[in-house]
Amino acid sequence: MKKLDKDRFDSFINTGNKVVEFSADWCVDCKRVAPDMPGIAAKFASQFEFGELDVDESRTIAEEYNVKGIPTFIVFKDGKEVGRLPSRYAKTKEQIEAFLEEYSETKE
């Protein structure tokens, strides 16, 4: 997963199919799913490129996308948001994978 910041965020999401995990170092749920993220990213590598944005370091972007809880996963297609998995549904590997399966068709 690419580490994103305010300088790299727009260019990252601008083209193609991207998934951005909005997270923070102190977030318990983020730490809970972190060990699963490399496997999830590998499983969906043919459909999405993955990035991670620390909401504390890039607060304005989190506010711009109305991210209220973390982790939140947003799927972008050519710079436009096409799907969102809010924190209340992003607690397990299974929830994250089911969400990505649903949006993997956005590649077409």
Residue at token pair 């096409």: 82
Query: Catalytic site residues?
Result: 27, 30
| Pure H helices in 18-90 | 28-33, 37-43, 59-64
- The number of residues making up the chain comes to 108
Nearest 5°: phi and psi at 59?
A: -55, -40
Longest dimension (CA), the chain: 36
How many of the other CB atoms lie within 10 Å of CB of 26?
9
